[in-house]
Structure 1
Amino acid sequence: MIWLAWRQFRTQALVAALIVAAAAVYLLITGTQLRHAYTADLVSCQSPNAQYSCFGLMNQLQSDYSGPQYLAEFLVMAAPALIGIFWGAPMIAGELERGTHYMAWNQSVTRTRWLAVKLTGTALAALITAGLLSLLLTWWASPLDTVAGNRWGTRVFNARDITPLGYALFAFALGVTLGLLIRRTVPAMAATLAIFLAVQVLVTVVVRPNLLPATTASVPVNRTSMSQAVRFDRADADTGPVRIDLPTPSGSWALSQSYALTSDGRPVQTARVLNCWRLLLSQAGEGKQGSPDFGPLGACLAPLDLHVDLTYQPVGRYWPMQWIETGLYAVLAALLAAACFRRMRRLRG
């Protein structure tokens, strides 16, 4: 039975091996070059006679490798969907369409054992494929991720470390289940892609931010906090709210941020901050180049006793959330596999 399963799967396995091998060669070569460039830029910008800032050099490094990074991330993120479409959906649907299930299920091997061998072998191949691609990309992109300082972005979180393994398991089990239910390969492939993408979006947008309780903090508006602000937006109307974008702790995942609030928790009106804003403009000059320093504005606003409420996931939650999300997809895959066995026992012809 194992030999037969391998014979039926060997073409897909060979294609996957070639893709992984090509990706490995490309990522190992360019990854080595990226590391040399990163180290050289770091040494150059930290030297006493540095002509360029580290910020500018690292931004240029990210720009130089953005194309290969997007390509590699797309490959890793697409791999689970392709596994579900081309490995999962045709596995049983193809047998039912061709009628070869009659021969397979009337031998000495029971249909339950037949399904168990095919599911186990192909699921293991899916895990190995997704794991190798994720490992290669995680190693390759580590200098760029260090520069960016953010591992919570959708492309980064979904294409690094262990989550691609959970996605691959789920996509494969989903394809097998839909192939068994629909009994036609092409419709099952289309349904697999549509449902997998829908689940990915739902988990990324709705489930992931709530996997663990978020941390909240109330940051007072003063010279110290405003010197770190990245944006200050006042409304056109005098009664409109004021938005101040303050950074969350380094490496954390910012979920939400309130308007500038008064001591009683109400959004401060634009009219109350206009004098401080005009004072800042008169001191710095409206035509000043570069990013503004909002520190003096914060000192002027301090007597108003304003604050901003931040909601975020601390940097230490990254790995727990990776494990929880991977486990969630693995549980969904196990439930789909159980449904396949249940359906298989009741299936006629």
Structure 2
Amino acid sequence: MIWLTWRQFRTQTYVALVLLAAAAAYLLISGHQLHHSYTVDLATCQTSSNCSDVLDALQSQYNGPLDLVELLLMAVPALIGIFWGAPLIAAELERGTHYTAWHQSVTRTRWLAVKLTLVGFASVLTAGVLSLLVTWWTSPLDTLTGNRFGIQAFNARDITPLGYAAFAFVLGAVLGLLFRRAVPAMAATIAIFIAVQILVSAGLRPHLLPATTVSLPINQTTMSQAIRFDRSASTTGPVLIDLAAPAGAWDLSQTQALGPNGQPIQTSAIISCWSQMAAGPGAKGGPPDFSSLGACLAPQHLHVDMTYQPAYRYWQLQWMETAFYTVLAALLAAVCFRRIRRVRG
């Protein structure tokens, strides 16, 4: 069965090796350039005390390739499910070649176990190699942004792609067994895989671990690092301030600007300080001086409540999500073994 499975899967293996070699060549060559540029720029800017502008320019230069690399790795598990998982059983059922194995000494269980094990291992190995390369490639940019919790970043780093690949492959195999046709199984695989990814990334992941909630005062220090400040055109409208989360943390949510009593403040409460900032130095050209606005607002004892996941929980979430997808893959494999007994042979 091992030899037969290899014979049936060798074309996909050769194609995967060629594509993997091409991706590895690109990541290694461009990654070496990225790491070199980061090291040189960091050493240069430290002597001129202008690291922010230099490193921002480096990040802007690689934003396009970064999106491409992340989307590539996020697509790999789905492609594995479509082209390796879905046809694995469905193609044999369509051609009727499963009869040859089942009418000899090979049992259905062994036939399925060898196929799932060998091709499943190849799927996880492929995703693992790509994930290792991408994680190394993106490490300087991750250091610059300080946030690995974004959906693209989290889904294309470290160990989660291994869980995604295992789930997508077994999902495709199960759907191929249920539909008994490769093309419908491939279409259903991509639809279900994307749906599960969205539900887990947006709905489940933020709630896997209890979040931390803190009250951040609005003052010169916090406002100097503010990401956004929006006030309503109406004096009775809300004031929205996005303060910076702790280094490396995952900012889940922030409230509106709140007064000492915990109630949202209105624009009228900050309009005087806003007018002073607008008339102050740097008002014409360049970014607003939010630190001066924070200093003016400090006596009002305003604050923002922030809910976030600390940076140290990154690996906890990685392991938990990988385990979740691995369990899903195991459950689907059990369904596959149960269902194979009902196929007419």
TM-score (norm 2): 0.96
Match among 281, 287, 305 for residue 284 of structure 1? 281
Residues 45-75 of structure 1, C-alpha deviation per residue, up to 9 Å, x if partnerless? Answer: 111xx3x822222122223333332332222
Displacement after TM superposition at 1:300 (Å): 2.3
Give 2:6's aligned amino acid.
W
- Structure 2 counterpart of 1:293, one-letter code: D
Query: What are the Cα deviations for residues 123-171 of structure 1, in whole angstroms up to 9, with x where unaligned?
Result: 1000110000000111111111111211111111111100100000000
Distance 1:75 1:279, change over 3 A: closer
- Give the whole-Å Cα distance in 2 for the aligned partners of 1:97 and 1:303: 75
User: Is the 2:277–2:289 Cα contact (8 Å) retained in structure 1?
Assistant: no
Residue 187 (structure 1) aligns with: 184
Worse-matched range after superposition: 229-238 or 245-254? 229-238
Task: Supply the RMSD in Å over aligned alpha carbons.
Answer: 1.4
* 2:147 maps to 1:150: yes
Equivalents in 1 of 2:66, 2:336: separation in Å? 37
Q: Which residue of 2 aligns with 1:316?
A: 312
Amino acid of the structure 1 residue aligned with 2:46: Q
Deviation per CA, 1:312-339: give whole Å up to 9, x if none: 1100000000000011000000000000
**Distance across 2 between alignment mates of 1:113 and 1:308:** 60
Structure 1 CA distance, aligned partners of 2:197 and 2:326? 14
- Provide the residue aligned with 2:166 in structure 1: 169
Work out the CA distance in 2 between the residues paired with 1:7 and 1:59.
51
Residues 52-131 of structure 1 mapped to structure 2, 5 A cutoff: 53-131=50-128
Show CA shifts across 1:165-196 (max 9, x none): 00000000100010000111000000000110
Query: 1:280: Cα distance to partner?
Result: 2.3
Q: Secondary structure at the match of 2:215?
A: strand
Aligned-partner Cα distance in 2 for 1:65–1:283: 35
Task: State the distance in 2 between where 1:69 and 1:266 align.
Answer: 41
Dislocated runs of 4+, deviation >4 Å: none
- In structure 2, the partner of 1:204 is 201
Question: 2:256·2:264 contact (CA, 8 Å) conserved in 1?
Answer: yes
CA distance in 1, matches of 2:209, 2:184: 37
Matched, 1:233 2:230: yes
Supply the distance in 2 between the matched residues of 1:199 and 1:161 (Cα, whole angstroms). Answer: 20
* Alpha-carbon shift at residue 227 of structure 1 (Å): 2.3
Q: Match for residue 45 of structure 1?
A: 45
- CA deviation map 1:193-228 (0-9, x unaligned): 011011111111111111111110001122222222
Q: Partner of 1:294 in structure 2?
A: 290
Task: Tell me the secondary structure at the aligned position of residue 216 of structure 1.
Answer: strand
Helix, strand or coil at the partner of 1:309: strand
Shift in Å at residue 285 of structure 1?
A: 6.2
Q: Distance in 1 between matches of 2:39 and 2:269?
A: 49
Q: Which segments of 5 or more consecutive residues in structure 2 lack a partner in the other structure?
A: none
Distance across 2 between alignment mates of 1:76 and 1:283: 48
Tell me, yes or no, if structure 1 residue 13 matches structure 2 residue 13: yes
Specify whether residues 68 and 304 from structure 1 end up closer, same or farther in structure 2 by C-alpha distance, changes over 3 A only: closer
Separation (CA, whole Å) in 2 of partners of 1:184 and 1:279: 70
Work out the CA distance in 2 between the residues paired with 1:229 and 1:165.
36
Matched residues, number: 345
Amino acid at match of 1:194: A
- Percent identity, aligned pairs only, is 65
Please state whether the residue corresponding to 1:308 is helix, strand or coil. strand
Which stretch has the larger CA shift, 220-229 or 309-318? 220-229
Q: 2:171·2:332 contact (CA, 8 Å) conserved in 1?
A: yes
CA distance in structure 2 between the aligned counterparts of 1:345 and 1:214, rounded to whole angstroms: 45
Unaligned runs of 5+ in 1: none
Distance 1:282 1:27 in 2: 49
Instruction: Report which stretch shifted further, 300-309 or 125-134.
Output: 300-309
Distance in 2, matches of 1:320 and 1:268, equals 37
